[in-house]
Amino acid sequence: MFRSPATIALVLTALTAAADGKAGEPKAGAVPWSAAKDSGWKELEPGLELREEELDWKRQEADQAALVNLRIAAVRLDAKLFALRVVMNPVKDGRNLADVAKAEKAVAASNGAYFGTKDEPVTLLVSGGKALTRLNKNLPRGGVFTLDEKGRAAVVPVADFKSPRDGLDFVVQNSPLLVAGGKVIFKDPQPARHRRTAIGVDADGRTVLAVCGSAVTLDEWAAVLTSRADGGLGLTSALNLDGGPSTGLAVEHEKAKVDVPAGRIIPQVLAILRREKPLPAER
Amino acid sequence: MNSRQRVEAALNHHRPDRVPLDLGATPVSGMQVSSVYALRQALGLDRPGTPVKVVEPYQMLGEIAPDLAARLGVDTVNLPGRTNMFGFANEGWKPWRTFDGTPVLVPAGFNTEPDASGDILMYPAGDRSAPASGRMPKGGFYFDSIVRQPPVDEDRLDPRDNLEDFAPLSDLDLAHCERESRRLRDESDRAIVGSVPGTAFGDIALVPGPWMRRPKGIRDVEEWYVSLAARPDYIRAVFEGQCAIALRNLEAYRQAVGDRISVIFMCGTDLGTQNGPFMSAETYRELHKPFHKRLNDWVHAHTKWKTFKHSCGSILPLIPELVEAGFDILNPVQCSAAGMDAAELKRRFGAEVTFWGGGVDTQRTLPFGRPEEVRAQVRERIATFGPGGGFVFNPIHNVQAGTPVANLLAMYETVRES
């Protein structure tokens, strides 16, 4: 999709600002958006938080300037109290994300990684310590999100990932890897605006699953994910998941409901479940 | 905002000053000539008996002349190709009369004759020495293709036979497109919708080749659909060849019309019936999607154009595939088909595609409802599809013959008030 040089300049400004920002130092005014609404991180219960926000983003398309409203929802979890699981969801069953969340007694469910023409998974998925698929070495600019048995989260490039090994409780592979070391490391060669989903880790090691129900480029999305400015999610690492019509998030919690509907039935759903027993704190 | 800015704002999912209106910018968003005649009469644009030009003889669509467009506030205009669906040019106009008695003008190549039952036969490229390729049933309003399918010999099927339809655009075609695009841009501030032949894969209106004198290959509608399952390699080979030609034509067309057009009509292949899709998502992914994506990606990489996809029917499971294939615009948004709820479509896909259509139901409300029912539905659809841009008003597909003029006026007045 076409984007004007003026818009590129705005995004570059945002990216530069994000990259230059120091941890904990919001740089208000340095980004092309302002937070029209922001719930902040609301605790639904210990170890589980929800944030919903709307960003007003200044865009320039051809000869017209416009203010676009972007809707973002994110779930932040402490993996010692909550687990991530892959739920196989046959398309013929017709269950949407909220249906899956309710059936699995999950507090939230989202779309996950890319899948193939027959809805089969095409990237590495590990759930409950069990490898469901193999690492896809042909996925360019790929990354892997992992949670180990101690609840420690990480995002690493595929090249640095050693095939499924003991000690990993959950893995999802996808591409591109957007953020590493608190900086945007991806520049989209052919930007197009779509709905987006990402999974990442914040400065305190907590896992964040975020969706943008509005259409943004990957560059714009990476800027929001990493920025510490008003409305940014402040992730230090983040992996892009499947987007477009796949993007979806359902939060099914006694204290909050969120429904960002996916445009299709998602064949492999990421579900957030309470752990029966919290993982022990590390010494 | 002028009309072009209004349309482009909507296409970029920005909020325009009002909902943009299309009438006649594509062969699937026009009006049957009898209705155009009645509308012009009601608006006092013509004296009684003044004929209206038939600019698309297959569906008998009437010309949306600049005076009518201005009166209704239409924001779009069509950049037509040099020849029409029956393969002759829209020139050398001559009088004709439809079955319902409407006086019209048809091109010189519009050479018809009745058969024994009173049906009207149409000939490819106006050539009566060739087998007829279209039939308007007695008392009807438009033509159906006549299938001229020789018996299929599996051993001699050759994909090249189904590629005869697709050829590089001629210098004559390109000169026409360049000249007309300049004229339209100079004479109007409306957003121009262009098209390139051959960018639709498996469009069942085109498969019988109504403009071809003696088409070969698979030309029967039923046989074509059977082939999607039974001869996928044949279909894929046809699409491969077609795609290569279409890419060359897109480049030549871009050089001819540049950014004077805002939208390119890419594909009219219907994927749905009233109650469900023609094919599974898997079949679409494997057969059609790679080629659609290749063409849409080319357009997005080389132009500012937005890509237009038409498909009638209930296609909810296929819309995600169309979005991923890179189509920017969906038409006609048949909300009257199973599962095509307007609010749900906007909620799920409104961030990524522009709905170009869906403004009012042309199966029931517009032809058979009362004006207040038309107004109510138009208001409701604008309220549903309009917020945040991503909506160009058009009824669901072409306005049919016999639609009450009071309903047409109610529709356009309500859009203008939006």
Within a domain: B385: yes
Return left, alpha or beta for A167; rule: phi > 0 is left, psi -120 to 50 is alpha, else beta. left
Eight-state DSSP code of residue A273: E
Q: Is the pLDDT of residue A9 over 90?
A: no
Surface-to-core class of residue A83, CB atoms within 10 Å of its CB (0-12 exposed, 13-18 middle, 19+ buried): buried
Partners of residue A168 on adjacent β-strands: A148
Structural domain including B395 reads 3-31+68-79+150-417
d(CA A112, CA A96): 13
The verdict on a CB contact (< 8 Å) between B5 and A63 is: yes
Average pLDDT value for chain A: 89
The verdict on a CB contact (< 8 Å) between B319 and A192 is: no
d(CA A6, CA A219): 14
Q: Answer whether B256 touches A (CB < 8 Å).
A: no
Q: How far is B409 from chain A (nearest CA, A)?
A: 32
Measured between CA atoms, the residue of chain A closest to residue B284 is A117
Residues 6+ apart with CB under 8 A from B233: none
Chain B residues with CB-CB distance to A5 below 8 A: none
The verdict on a CB contact (< 8 Å) between A264 and B317 is: yes
Within a domain: B248: yes
d(CA B57, CA B35): 15
**Other beta carbons within 10 Å of A128:** 11
The pLDDT value recorded for residue A7 is: 30
Pairing of strands A249-253, A108-110: antiparallel
Chain B residues with CB-CB distance to A246 below 8 A: 320
Contact indicator for B194, B265 with CB cutoff of 8 Å: yes
Tokens at B108, concatenated: 């010189």
Surface-to-core class of residue B27, CB atoms within 10 Å of its CB (0-12 exposed, 13-18 middle, 19+ buried): buried
Q: Answer whether B351 touches A (CB < 8 Å).
A: yes
The pLDDT value recorded for residue A17 is: 36
The pLDDT value recorded for residue A22 is: 37
d(CA B281, CA B290): 13
d(CA A48, CA A52): 14
Strand order, beta sheet including B134-136: B112-114, B120-122, B134-136, B144-145
Q: Is the pLDDT of residue A1 over 70?
A: no
Query: What percentage of chain A carries pLDDT values higher than 70?
Result: 88
Chain A residues with CB-CB distance to B301 below 8 A: 190
Measured between CA atoms, the residue of chain A closest to residue B320 is A245
**Other beta carbons within 10 Å of B67:** 12
How many structural domains comprise chain B? 1
The verdict on a CB contact (< 8 Å) between A263 and B317 is: no
The pLDDT value recorded for residue A156 is: 96
Within a domain: B129: no
Handedness of CA B334, B335, B338, B343 (dihedral sign): positive
Name the helix (H) or strand (E) containing B39: helix B33-42
Residue found under tokens 């898997």: B282
Residues 6+ apart with CB under 8 A from B171: none
Residues 6+ apart with CB under 8 A from A75: A48, A49, A50, A51, A108, A208, A209, A210, A249, A251, A272
First to last CA, chain B: 15
Q: Answer whether B387 touches A (CB < 8 Å).
A: no
The verdict on a CB contact (< 8 Å) between B282 and A118 is: yes
Residue in A64, A68, A118 closest to B5 by CB: A64
Q: How far is A242 from chain B (nearest CA, A)?
A: 11
d(CA B32, CA A193): 36
Measured between CA atoms, the residue of chain B closest to residue A118 is B282
| pLDDT band at residue A8 using 50, 70 and 90 as cut-offs | very low
Within a domain: B245: yes
Domain ranges of chain A: 5-274
Within a domain: B357: yes
CA R_g for chain A: 18
The verdict on a CB contact (< 8 Å) between A1 and B328 is: yes
Centroid of chain to Cα B210: 16
Helix (H, G, I), strand (E, B) or coil at A220: helix
DSSP readout, B172-232?
HHHHHHHHHHHHHHHH--SEEEEE-TT-SSS-TTTTT-TT-SS--SS--HHHHHHHHHH-H
The pLDDT value recorded for residue A6 is: 33
Using one digit for the tens of pLDDT, what is the confidence trace for A268-281? 999 999 999 999 98
Contact indicator for A270, A111 with CB cutoff of 8 Å: yes
Q: Is the pLDDT of residue A5 over 70?
A: no
Contact indicator for A207, A48 with CB cutoff of 8 Å: no
Measured between CA atoms, the residue of chain B closest to residue A217 is B352
Give me the CATH number covering residue B176: 3.20.20.210
Among candidates A203, A233, A205, which has minimal Cα distance to A53? A233
DSSP readout, B265-299?
EEE----B-SSSBSS-HHHIIIIIHHHHHHHHHHH
Question: Could you list the pLDDT tens digit for every one of the 418 residues in chain B?
Answer: 999 999 999 999 999 999 999 999 999 999 999 999 999 999 999 999 999 999 999 999 999 999 999 999 999 999 999 999 999 999 999 999 999 999 999 999 999 999 999 999 999 999 999 999 999 999 999 999 999 988 899 999 999 999 998 999 999 999 999 999 999 999 999 999 999 999 999 999 999 999 999 999 999 999 999 999 999 999 999 999 999 999 999 999 999 999 999 999 999 999 999 999 999 999 999 999 999 999 999 999 999 999 999 999 999 999 999 999 999 999 999 999 999 999 999 999 999 999 999 999 999 999 999 999 999 999 999 999 999 999 999 999 999 999 999 999 999 999 999 8
Within a domain: B89: no
Measured between CA atoms, the residue of chain B closest to residue A245 is B320
The pLDDT value recorded for residue A283 is: 64
ipTM of this complex prediction, to 2 decimal places: 0.92
d(CA A69, CA A60): 14
**Is omega for the bond preceding B114 within 30 degrees of 0, making it cis?**
no
